Amino acid sequence: MGNYGPKKLCTLNALIERIPDDTSIALGGVFLHRGPFAAVRELVRQQKRNLEIIKTAPAYDLDLLCRSGAVSKAQAGIIAMEGNFGLAPWSRKAIEKKEIVLIEHACPTLIAGMRAARYGLPFQPIAGVHGSELAALNNWKAIKDPYGSGKEVYVIPAIVPDVAIIHVHEMDEYGNARVFGSPFWDRVITRAAKRLLLTAERIVSTDELRKQPELTLIPGFMVEAAAHVPRGAWPGSMSGYYDIDYGAVENYLIDSTDTLETHFNDAPEAEAQTATYASNED
Amino acid sequence: MTYNWTPFSYLVINLARQIRPNERTFSGVNSNLPMLACLLAKRAYDFHYTFLNVAGGVEAEPTTIPHSSSDPAIVVGSPAVFDQEDFYDLSARGGLDMVYLGCAQIDALGRTNVSAIGSWHEPKVKLPGGGGAAVLMPTARRVVTWRTEHSKRALVEKLDFITAAGNLQTLVTPIAVFQKRNGRLALESWNPQVSLADVVKQTGFEFDAALATNTEPATARELDALSSLDPDGAFESEVRI
């Protein structure tokens, strides 16, 4: 067997301990789908502060972090709980009360910034944006095609997240990771961030991944650390594995400290985390 | 002729009627009504069109209809996954024929606000944001929007903020269908359960109604398809008017 380098597996607790306060974090997934939500809850448990969250379509994740006072800045294209849940109440309040700074993007302009990072460029041209006041709001510049077509093209400055956190379906102990269903924007995000942390539903053997390497979205050499976190996208969905837990989302949205505590206790990773904390205290 | 539109059936069926044969049509996040319209068109109309959606679905044939329009359930049955990078790039190069984009406010020029009520910096209400609208509205060939509330605060003379502008063609509300003509929204047809005067009274901008007619009643196939998609009325109850 080959030498695949260092193993990346650690506990969820240890994974999130790698993230200091004042970090910009790109989160994978879209709305309530395949978000690294157990990792987000662990950010709250570890009482992180002054985080910047970068995600095209945040929902529960940004809302929970705002509710917990962990965020000082967000860059996003659309913030909502989606479906029949409407607006994300705590992130909305945090923005209206200026508890956090919002950089309002269109989803693809946020990704254009991360594409610039991915390509190692200071900015990224993008189609569209014309006629939108987001351009003036964010001071985005348009430049003339230097090759003479006469077209004006908006250019978005590079966005380089300090860390990206992605939740994946399958991963080996070296961090080689597969995502089933849509990768959403996660290919760009994982290439744009300076550091990459993963959580995974299942741990599989490297031999298993070698049978169809083209199914691996993220090669392990790019991954700094990773944790095995079954149901790590709860209360959201994980394509092919489980659906949104609508009851849990409804309970989360009830405005009381009790329901938030219950929500954390109900989280699938709670038992494992309690065990970890207990062993740390020994 | 009898008319028995509900606000829900009027919205979904008239959104579905904007889909054209052989076109590539896209339904996005936060878009349950367009998602239902796309699925309805597949069931009620004989022509082919390519149904793309934000969950990555391509010609999906979902077995359950999710209450989140970005749910993996609307990838089920797809022979391919066409992800975010793919469908935005498709639109950028002129390959997306029609896209549904939501709005909180819309003006007579078909520009939309999904960013804030009041000023952006001191909002009365911070709205969710436009998602991909600022990029899709100028790049997709045709944009269709909808509003579940037909009122002067939704259909406005002046937007509080311009989130997106460009190729908006159609606005559907529970009582009217507008099409852009000579750069402005004009009334194409209205729900005959209300009067034309009601439509005028509830609209914040002036519009041309010279060519407007009563909206064609729903066909049996359209109604059957709609009830097959929402057998227990769960989606209908989500439409708060």
Using pLDDT thresholds of 50, 70 and 90, give the confidence band for residue B89.
Answer: very high
- Residue B241 has a pLDDT of 60
- Which domain, by its residues, includes B180? 7-238
**B54-92 exposure pattern, b = at least 16 Cβ within 10 A, e = fewer:** bbbbbbbebeebbbbbbbbbbbbebeebbbbbbbbebbb
Q: Please report which helix (H) or strand (E) contains residue A115, including its range.
A: helix A107-119
pLDDT exceeds 80 at position A164: yes
In a domain, B115, yes or no: yes
Residue A70: CB atoms within 10 A of its CB come to 21
pLDDT exceeds 70 at position A274: no
pLDDT tens-digit series, residues A240-273? 999 999 999 999 999 998 889 999 999 999 977 5
Q: Rounded mean pLDDT of chain B?
A: 96
In a domain, A3, yes or no: no
Under 8 Å CB-to-CB from A119, ≥6 apart: which residues?
none
Are the CB atoms for A35 and A27 separated by under 8 Å? Answer: yes
**Are residues A67 and A179 located together in one domain of the fold?**
yes
- Residue A134 has a pLDDT of 98
- Whole-number Å distance between alpha carbons of A106 and A120: 21
Terminal Cα distance for chain B, rounded:
26
Name residues 113-152 of chain B within 8 A of A (Cβ): 114-115, 120, 123, 125-139
Residue A50: CB atoms within 10 A of its CB come to 14
Total count of domains within chain A: 2
CB contact under 8 A, A33 and B71: yes
**Are residues A192 and A256 located together in one domain of the fold?**
yes
- Whole-number Å distance between alpha carbons of B168 and B182: 12
Segment A70-97 shows an average pLDDT of 93
Nearest-Cα residue of chain A relative to residue B130: A78
Using pLDDT thresholds of 50, 70 and 90, give the confidence band for residue A24.
Answer: very high
**Are residues A151 and A174 located together in one domain of the fold?**
no
Are the CB atoms for A59 and A31 separated by under 8 Å? Answer: yes
Angle at alpha carbon of residue A139, lines to A133 and A145, rounded to 5°: 90
- Which domain, by its residues, includes A93? 9-122+161-281
Query: Which tokens belong to A65?
Result: 């972090």
Cis link prior to A235 (omega < 30° from 0)?
yes
Please say whether the dihedral angle defined by the alpha carbons of residues A118, A123, A127 and A132, taken in this order, is positive or negative: positive
Q: In 3D, which of B155, B102, B108 has the Cα closest to residue B132?
A: B102
Segment A60-80 shows an average pLDDT of 98
Segment B135-147 shows an average pLDDT of 98
CATH code, domain carrying B50: 3.40.1080.10
Nearest-Cα residue of chain A relative to residue B102: A78
Using pLDDT thresholds of 50, 70 and 90, give the confidence band for residue A3.
Answer: confident
- Whole-number Å distance between alpha carbons of A3 and A119: 29
In a domain, B58, yes or no: yes
**Are residues A106 and A181 located together in one domain of the fold?**
yes
CB contact under 8 A, B30 and A78: yes
- Residue A86 has a pLDDT of 84
In a domain, A238, yes or no: yes
**Are residues A268 and A135 located together in one domain of the fold?**
no
Q: What percent of chain A has pLDDT over 90?
A: 90
- Residue A83 has a pLDDT of 72
**Are residues A18 and A107 located together in one domain of the fold?**
yes
pLDDT exceeds 80 at position A17: yes
In a domain, A57, yes or no: yes
**Are residues A151 and A176 located together in one domain of the fold?**
no
Under 8 Å CB-to-CB from B4, ≥6 apart: which residues?
none
In a domain, B2, yes or no: no
CATH code, domain carrying A68: 3.40.1080.10
- Residue B41 has a pLDDT of 98
- Whole-number Å distance between alpha carbons of A235 and A267: 8
How high is the ipTM of this complex? 0.95
Name residues 176-195 of chain B within 8 A of A (Cβ): none
pLDDT exceeds 80 at position B226: yes
CB contact under 8 A, A78 and B130: yes
pLDDT exceeds 90 at position B198: yes
**Are residues A173 and A260 located together in one domain of the fold?**
yes
Total count of domains within chain B: 1
Query: Which tokens belong to B59?
Result: 């010609």
- Residue A279 has a pLDDT of 44
- Residue A82 has a pLDDT of 81
**Helical spans, DSSP H, in B65-188:** 84-92, 133-139
